């Protein structure tokens, strides 16, 4: 696991810009920092060594003939199989060397053979081409941009790239349309777009071929959307768990006590992993405990696994929030970013370098209610915030126009998925699956890597994902529950679906967090477009979210308040200037 960065272009200061990027990502790789410079490219890595701690395994890594220069972030799950197939005299035990020799043997086509999570930069010294590639489904992040002079810069984390662009006096602007769409869709945008118009993501499963003379060519890892014949889920599940186990190290498991993480933990134990569990609970707020600790304790007692508990109080949340936002790209503002930051810290304090999460099951099997919409319009309605517009003073016609165009963009993406052979349900599930890349996966990666802890996601193993997507959407989770039989107690097998419960939207109404957010928005870049009268009413009208059946509208207002605050705070932390969002009034003069 690493952080990678590179500068591909004709500029004498290439290594300085790469070094600047890497310095901002030291948390991703405290074990080594190295840069290699060639005529037209500088490539660098900060390294978190897990499988092979020797200096020979450091990156950038040069293939045996010297043709390919490789940096990558992630883990190649099938590297032992590839190692056997390639039949080389190996100098290390690391998967980076296998990756370098894969390029040596097959060029970019070797990427079709990879299984695992990865973001790769590979430079071909014979053709002077740079290849950037990212795993499907997009577990590891990778950002890039083209400068005004025609150079290319890439980095594992958005803020590192953003600050390098500022040093180069490049455009770091948001457009008004982007901001409207972003606020409309609960602080998300469609990939490959980011909040900064000039910075793009490498999309999940994408391979970019970059040339200083011929521009950019994009292609996909083959069969990304391909449906396959039903496969043996049990076999693929056990194989996916095997692929993430580090036999020589103690590992952590982020445990909720739900069916997904409990089943994963059980299989880890069954395969002999040295593992301990970590669970998080919030302090009790109103009638709700926001704690799954009793379920986690029950599972750990059943499996004889040590359990460590993290408690997150409201003041802790307020204190940690700026740090948690510091590495974010702004497109994953769900409040659980703070929880994953706290979990990463807890894992690091336990001396763990690797943790496992049960993220992804509900998306790939289509178990969420919102993945079962009757129409694209109904699905789009769910994706949008119902109340954000209530809290903003924005031009109604502009809002409507951008709402209509944003809907068409999402409709086109879903219809593209349908044209590959799926029905509406399959296409919406695939869209929701891509939502993982923008939302849940960055929270996990950035939250844990901030503490130099690698998080592995076995339920997003490529073969397991393809098997799940080849089956009909499973709203009742019956397919995954079948994997839990004979692994975990019946009471856990039958637990209803539940997201990561938190009281943050309630704190926005009744807690100190809401007051902190209100005061900040008063002086933020959003101050001229916030409808403070509506916020005053929300905070002071005597209504309550503390009962057993709170108003859904009131809860959604708390959510919208949170997303506005987190966005404004993110802009402040990263010194990003917003476009002018104020309504313009026409002024007429009589002759």
Q: Could you tell me the two tokens for 509?
A: 């109404």
Any residues with CB less than 8 A from the CB of 241 and at least 6 apart, and which?
A: 264, 267, 268, 271, 458
Within a 10 A sphere around the Cβ of 147, how many other Cβ atoms?
19
Angle 553-554-555 from CA coordinates, rounded to 5°: 90
* Phi and psi torsions of 455, nearest 5°: -110, 125
Two tokens, residue 131: 């290849």
Cα angle vertex 290, ends 286, 296, to 5°? 150
CA distances from residue 393 to 182, 388, 537, 538, 584 in whole angstroms, order as listed: 16, 10, 15, 16, 11
Q: What is the 3-state secondary structure (H, E, C) of 303-370?
A: HCCCEEEEEECHHHHHHHHHHHHCCCCCCCCCCHHHHHHHHHHHHHHCCCCEEECCCCHHHHHCCCHH
Task: Judge whether 197 is annotated as a binding position.
Answer: no
Q: How far is CA 531 from the centre of its chain?
A: 31
Name the active-site residue from 2, 33, 172, 571: 2
Residues 511 and 314: beta-carbon distance below 8 Å = yes
Specify whether 2 is catalytic: yes
| H helix count then E strand count, the chain | 22, 17
Identify whether the C-beta of residue 310 lies closer than 8 Å to the C-beta of residue 343. Answer: yes
Q: What is the largest CA-CA distance in the chain?
A: 88
Report the distance separating Cα 61 and Cα 92, nearest Å.
11
What is the SS3 string spanning 71-92? EEEEEECCHHHHHHHHCCCCCC
Question: Does 60 sit behind a cis peptide bond, omega within 30 degrees of 0 on the bond before it?
Answer: yes
100: CB partners within 8 A, 6+ apart: 61, 62, 63, 64, 68, 70
Q: Which token pair is 354?
A: 């690797």
Q: State the binding site for L-glutamine.
A: 95
Residues with a known catalytic role: 2
């Amino acid at each position: 696991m690493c952080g990678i960065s590179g500068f591909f272009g004709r500029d004498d200061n290439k290594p300085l810009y790469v070094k600047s990027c890497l310095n901002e990502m030291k948390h991703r790789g405290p074990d080594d920092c190295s840069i290699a410079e060639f005529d037209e490219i500088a490539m660098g890595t900060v390294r978190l060594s897990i499988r092979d701690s020797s200096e020979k395994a450091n990156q950038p890594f040069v293939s045996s003939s010297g043709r390919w220069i490789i940096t990558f972030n992630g883990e190649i799950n099938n590297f032992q199989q590839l190692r056997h197939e390639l039949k080389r005299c190996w100098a290390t035990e690391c998967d980076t060397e296998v990756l370098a020799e894969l390029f040596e043997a097959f060029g970019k086509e070797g990427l079709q053979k990879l299984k695992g999570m990865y973001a790769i930069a590979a430079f071909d010294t014979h053709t002077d081409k740079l290849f950037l590639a990212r795993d499907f489904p997009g577990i590891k992040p990778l950002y890039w941009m083209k400068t005004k002079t025609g150079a290319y810069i890439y980095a594992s984390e958005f803020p590192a790239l953003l600050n390098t662009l500022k040093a180069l006096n490049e455009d770091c602007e948001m457009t008004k349309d982007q901001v409207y769409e972003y606020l409309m869709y609960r602080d998300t945008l469609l990939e490959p777009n980011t909040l900064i118009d000039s910075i793009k993501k490498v999309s999940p499963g994408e391979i970019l071929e970059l040339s200083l003379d011929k521009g950019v060519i994009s292609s996909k890892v083959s069969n990304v959307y391909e449906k396959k014949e039903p496969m043996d889920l049990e076999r693929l599940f056990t194989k996916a768990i095997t692929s993430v186990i580090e036999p020589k190290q103690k590992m952590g498991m982020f445990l909720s006590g739900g069916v997904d993480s409990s089943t994963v933990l059980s299989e880890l134990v069954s395969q002999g992993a040295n593992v301990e569990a970590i669970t998080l609970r919030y302090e009790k707020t109103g009638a709700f405990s926001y704690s799954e600790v009793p379920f986690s304790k029950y599972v750990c007692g059943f499996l004889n696994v040590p359990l460590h508990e993290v408690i997150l109080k409201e003041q802790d949340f307020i204190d940690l929030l700026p740090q948690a936002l510091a590495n974010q790209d702004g497109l994953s503002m769900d409040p659980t970013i703070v929880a994953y930051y706290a979990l990463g810290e807890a894992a690091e304090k336990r001396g763990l370098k690797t943790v496992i999460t049960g993220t992804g099951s509900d998306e790939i099997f289509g178990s969420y209610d919102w993945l079962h919409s009757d129409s694209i319009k109904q699905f789009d309605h769910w994706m949008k915030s119902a109340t954000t517009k209530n809290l903003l003073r924005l031009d109604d016609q502009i809002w409507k126009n951008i709402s209509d165009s944003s809907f068409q963009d999402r409709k086109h993406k879903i219809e593209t998925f349908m044209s590959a052979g799926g029905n509406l349900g399959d296409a919406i599930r695939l869209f929701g699956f891509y939502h993982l890349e923008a939302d849940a996966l960055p929270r996990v990666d950035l939250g844990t890597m901030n503490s130099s802890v690698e998080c592995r996601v076995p339920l997003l193993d490529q073969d397991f994902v393809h098997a799940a997507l080849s089956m009909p959407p499973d709203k009742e989770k019956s397919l995954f529950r079948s994997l839990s039989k004979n692994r975990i107690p019946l009471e856990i097998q039958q637990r209803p679906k539940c997201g990561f419960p938190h009281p943050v939207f309630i704190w926005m109404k009744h807690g100190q967090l809401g007051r902190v957010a209100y005061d900040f928005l008063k002086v933020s870049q959003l101050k001229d477009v916030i409808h403070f009268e509506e916020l005053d009413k929300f905070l002071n009208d005597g209504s309550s979210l503390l009962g057993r059946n709170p108003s859904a509208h009131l809860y959604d207002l708390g959510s919208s308040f949170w997303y506005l605050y987190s966005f404004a705070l993110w802009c402040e932390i990263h010194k990003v200037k917003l476009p002018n969002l104020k309504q313009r009034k026409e002024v007429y003069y009589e002759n």
